[in-house]
Amino acid sequence: MVRKVKPSTTAKRPSKAVRRQAPLKSRAAPKRISTKKSDKFIKNKRDFAIQAIVIASILLVVYLIFSWLDADDPVLMPPVSTAGETASAPLMEEVVDPAVMDAINERLKIEEANKAAPLDSARPQAWQINAAYADLPNGVPRLVIIIDDLGYLPDASKRFADMEGPLTLSFLPYGTNLASQTGYVLLRGHELIVHMPMAPKADDADPGPNALLTGLDEKEFKTRLEHNLSRFTGYVGVNNHMGSLLTERSREMTWVMEALAERGLLFLDSVTTPNSIGQKTAQSLGVPVMRRDVFIDNNRTEAEIFAQLDEAKELAMRRGVAVAIGHPYPETLDALEKWLPRLNSSEIVLAPLSAVMQEKYQN
């Protein structure tokens, strides 16, 4: 008898061998990139870009600086004469205030009339003709305050000219708009001198264009000297800008003093070297001369400038006369505007350079 087997309703379980097999992968899994390597790559690109920008900026700044220095800016880089040539005045036509122009023309008329006068011992010199007016009481000490390096800072020169004076203002011959600036000084009753650029000892010190240098032949030296003396009018004389080298040289200082003697001008030795022969050479050729006593602003703080001004005042009260030199620094402007009104005219008076020179050579 055949036994019938009833069909099973449950699914057949796989064998153990089948169950041990690993499941098949349909495709390979993508490789993962290291996060640290990715960040480092991005950082390197960013650093490179920053460095490139910095380098480009530096190159641009250097280019702009050299372009600025090479520019024909008459304030910073006035034209320099070559052998046998003279630098010309700025090409831009200068506009001068009518009142200032009247002061200049009046001074020019006086100068021309003096040139036409007979040559004799009674004829006044240019330093006397162009002298600023000063009412100086007898027996009261005199203080001369000279401001150097004017000519390329018109706002500073105007502030000095607006002060109570008289001051003696010294203009560089390569300044700009000199007619306007010097004319305003004359209008305000102050005195003018030429701040003559001369050779210094320091290799890194630049006295400016058309400076009187030791290596020049006589013709070029005198050409530059003539040019510098022709840049404006109404001045009484000259003092040296730098010049620690030139003022020790007999040949060149003789050329300078010969020119001043011929024109009837005085000389103020700024004493930029203790070995200056400026005074000795001037005296040998009959040029009125004095020496600077005090620099008021070698240290540019208000307290130091006040101290130097007080020293100049005390020196004047001991000796009768003192000559102080300052510069158009903001600190000097501020200090003088505060210090000058404090002067007691009964114990000391401000005097133009020509006035104390006149008293020196009359006595």
Rounded Cα distance between 285 and 250, Å, is: 12
Instruction: Collapse the DSSP code of 41 into the 3-class scheme (helix H, G, I; strand E, B; otherwise coil) and give the result.
Output: helix
pLDDT, residue 107, reads 62
b or e along 253-268 (b: 16 or more beta carbons within 10 Å of the residue's beta carbon)? bebbbebbbeebbbbb
pLDDT, residue 96, reads 67
In this structure, the dihedral spanned by the alpha carbons of residues 260, 313, 166 and 129, taken in order and rounded to 10 degrees, is -30
DSSP alpha helix (H) spans, 188-346: 218-229, 250-263, 278-284, 302-319, 330-339
Angle at which helices 218-229 and 250-263 cross, to 10°: 40
Average pLDDT per consecutive 10 residues, the chain (363 residues; last block may be shorter):
51 51 50 55 66 72 43 33 32 57 64 53 86 94 98 97 97 97 97 98 97 98 98 98 98 98 98 98 98 98 98 97 98 98 93 97 81
| pTM above threshold 0.85 | no
Helix (H) / strand (E) element for 29: namely none
Question: What's the topology of domain 98-120+141-362?
Answer: TIM Barrel (3.20.20)
Query: Which pair of structure tokens corresponds to residue 199?
Result: 């050779």
Q: Please check whether residue 211 is in contact with residue 224, taking contact to mean a CB–CB distance below 8 angstroms.
A: yes
**Secondary structure in 3-state letters for 171-211:** ECCCCCCHHHHHHHHHHCCCEEEEEEEECCCCCCCCCCCCC
Place of tokens 């061998």: 17
Rounded Cα distance between 218 and 32, Å, is: 86
Domains of the chain, by residue range, sit at: 98-120+141-362
